[in-house]
Chain A
Amino acid sequence: MSAPELRQRLAAFLLATGRIRAADLAADAPLITSGLINSVALFSLAVWIEEAIGRPVEITTVALPAEWDTMDAILAFIERERNRAA
């Protein structure tokens, strides 16, 4: 899946949580530290990220407020983890 496709799917997923509007989805807009993503939505996001990477994430080693706070950060995390697995 290309990077633009992945970005589009992530945006669609975040909108589907029902807590985020299209206006909130700037590439560098904070999602976790702003409270837009709560723990239940975060659980779904974690599962979504694992599927995008293709393997489980050791969540306890991730600094969520830094590494998953924005769309850009999430996509960079996925990219890093995919490269690490390769």
Chain B
Amino acid sequence: MTVEVVPYEERFLGQVADLQRRMWSPEPEFNERYFRWKHERNPCIPGPHALLALDSGRVVAMRAFTGSRWEGGTLAAPLPLPLACDAVVAGEHENSGLIGALTSAGLDALAARGFPLVLNLHASPVTMLGALAGGWRATAPLEALRLAPTGTDGNRAREWLQRQPLLWRLARQPWLDTAEERRPFGALERRAAAGLHAAGAALSLEAEPPVADIAELVTRLGHDGRLRQVRDPAWLEWKYANPLAAHRFLCWRERRLEGYVALQKSLSRNADRLEVAIVDCEGATPGIVELLLGTTIALLADQPLTAWRRALPAVAAQLLDRLGFEARPAGNALARQCPCVLVKRLGGAEPRVGGLDALDLGNWDLRQAYAD
């Protein structure tokens, strides 16, 4: 058996979409749209930057890198950095070292293009360990938090099926979908329609990303010098067009946008589609941040909510503690150390960005929205 490593080409898209049924979603058509969005339309670094392993012409493994742009520190202009993502290998090739070989080839290509660093913001425990063994370095964990709902059943039929040895595949069938899974954010919209006007005209729940308003608010608020992704209209437009996710935006508007919480649900049947992630949050004052988060939690009382503690303004993290968010349950101590920022230095003596130590989590202003 001879496996060759080749750069991605358009003719492989169908096979990539099929292979990614293991990771992205069980529906290849969704996966094709996702690949095009993530790797062909990324506004930060023209792509795709994906490497494939072919066994007799068949795609059996993939490793990709998508683009990001960072500001902060002493950077005079946004710095593009690749994000490692989308590692997947066919079952019969597991444990054969293919992901390591693809990653290594990808890093060589990125080094040749002059990128100083590559990041990974969304590694699983196994990926994290493989990366650390390959010479990547890691920051402290971002501290995943979760608020479990009370008084609801979730999707019990699906949970039961997932535990059965012969029946687990049935758990992905559409006929098991709950009303909330069929219409993501449906419950939130009903409650918002009934209740938000009582809270004052300033609050609104929006389905369309208010791209220009968010970019204006982020620019107006400025930043504290830590490294963060550039949230300009091009990036926001792209980010919230992810075909495997649904978003809603709880906004506080006076004469202009003064604060927002961005919420995300996965649309993939490989993921928990009831879970809502707080992926971004900003406010002109701490009071606005508190009000937006408190309202979010009240409106989503029956759905699990997740956030990264280190990805939120300090006032928000303290509020989540008071409202009952706890460390996300993890099977072992290794899982609790994910997610973190994984850094691979491609050149230079130290992993630094804009003069700041990239291994010090205190130098990053991270948002969950930045993860791939």
Please give the residue numbers on chain A whose beta carbons come within 8 Å of chain B beta carbons, in ascending order.
19, 32, 35, 37-43, 46-47, 50, 56-60, 62, 64-65, 68
Q: Which of A32, A35, A60 interacts with B97 by CB under 8 Å? A: A35
Q: Which residue of B lies closest to A56 (CB)?
A: B333
Interface status of B132 (Cβ within 8 A of chain A): yes
Q: Which residue of B lies closest to A47 (CB)?
A: B332
Known A-B contacts A58-B337, A59-B334, A60-B340; A39 and B139 likewise in contact (beta carbons under 8 Å): no
Smallest CB-CB A-B distances: 7 pairs: A39-B130, A56-B333, A60-B138, A42-B129, A64-B132, A64-B133, A32-B133
Q: Which residue of A lies closest to B130 (CB)?
A: A39
Contact B133 A39 (CB under 8 A): yes
Contact A42 B140 (CB under 8 A): no
A-chain residues with CB within 8 Å of residue B139 when the two chains form the complex: 60
Known A-B contacts A39-B129, A60-B138, A65-B135; A19 and B334 likewise in contact (beta carbons under 8 Å): no
Contact B99 A39 (CB under 8 A): yes
**Cα-based distance from A58 to B336 in the complex (angstroms):** 10
**Cα-based distance from A39 to B94 in the complex (angstroms):** 11
Interface status of B128 (Cβ within 8 A of chain A): yes
A-chain residues with CB within 8 Å of residue B135 when the two chains form the complex: 65
**Cα-based distance from A79 to B318 in the complex (angstroms):** 38
Contact B332 A19 (CB under 8 A): no
Task: Write out, one digit per residue, whether chain B residues 55-95 have a CB within 8 A of any chain A CB (1) or not (0).
Answer: 00000000000000000000000000000000000000011
B-chain residues with CB within 8 Å of residue A39 when the two chains form the complex: 99-100, 126-127, 129-131, 133
Contact A57 B333 (CB under 8 A): yes
Interface status of B209 (Cβ within 8 A of chain A): no
A-chain residues with CB within 8 Å of residue B333 when the two chains form the complex: 50, 56-57
A-chain residues with CB within 8 Å of residue B127 when the two chains form the complex: 39
**Cα-based distance from A42 to B126 in the complex (angstroms):** 8
A-chain residues with CB within 8 Å of residue B126 when the two chains form the complex: 39-40, 42-43
Contact A46 B100 (CB under 8 A): no
Contact A38 B332 (CB under 8 A): no
A-chain residues with CB within 8 Å of residue B140 when the two chains form the complex: 60
Interface status of B141 (Cβ within 8 A of chain A): yes
A-chain residues with CB within 8 Å of residue B100 when the two chains form the complex: 35, 38-39
Central interface residue in B133, B134, B135, by most chain A CB within 10 Å: B133
Interface status of B313 (Cβ within 8 A of chain A): no
A-chain residues with CB within 8 Å of residue B233 when the two chains form the complex: none
**Cα-based distance from A59 to B337 in the complex (angstroms):** 8
B-chain residues with CB within 8 Å of residue A37 when the two chains form the complex: 133
Central interface residue in B95, B131, B132, B134, by most chain A CB within 10 Å: B132
**Cα-based distance from A16 to B187 in the complex (angstroms):** 50
Known A-B contacts A38-B100, A40-B95, A43-B334; A59 and B128 likewise in contact (beta carbons under 8 Å): yes
Central interface residue in B127, B130, B141, B337, by most chain A CB within 10 Å: B130
Q: Which of A32, A40, A46, A68 interacts with B334 by CB under 8 Å? A: A46
Known: A35-B100, A39-B99, A42-B126. 13 other contacts (CB 8 A): A38-B95, A39-B126, A39-B127, A39-B131, A39-B133, A40-B126, A43-B129, A57-B333, A59-B138, A59-B337, A60-B139, A60-B340, A65-B133
Contact B97 A59 (CB under 8 A): no
**Cα-based distance from A62 to B138 in the complex (angstroms):** 9
Q: Which residue of A lies closest to B125 (CB)?
A: A43
Q: Which residue of B lies closest to A46 (CB)?
A: B334
Contact B97 A47 (CB under 8 A): no
**Cα-based distance from A42 to B99 in the complex (angstroms):** 14
A25 to chain B, nearest CB (A): 18
Q: Which residue of B lies closest to A68 (CB)?
A: B133
Q: What are 23 sample pairs from A and B whose C-beta atoms fall under 8 A apart?
A: A35-B100, A39-B126, A40-B126, A42-B129, A43-B129, A43-B334, A46-B334, A47-B332, A50-B332, A50-B333, A56-B332, A56-B333, A57-B333, A59-B128, A59-B129, A59-B334, A60-B128, A60-B132, A60-B337, A60-B340, A64-B132, A64-B133, A65-B135
**Cα-based distance from A3 to B16 in the complex (angstroms):** 49
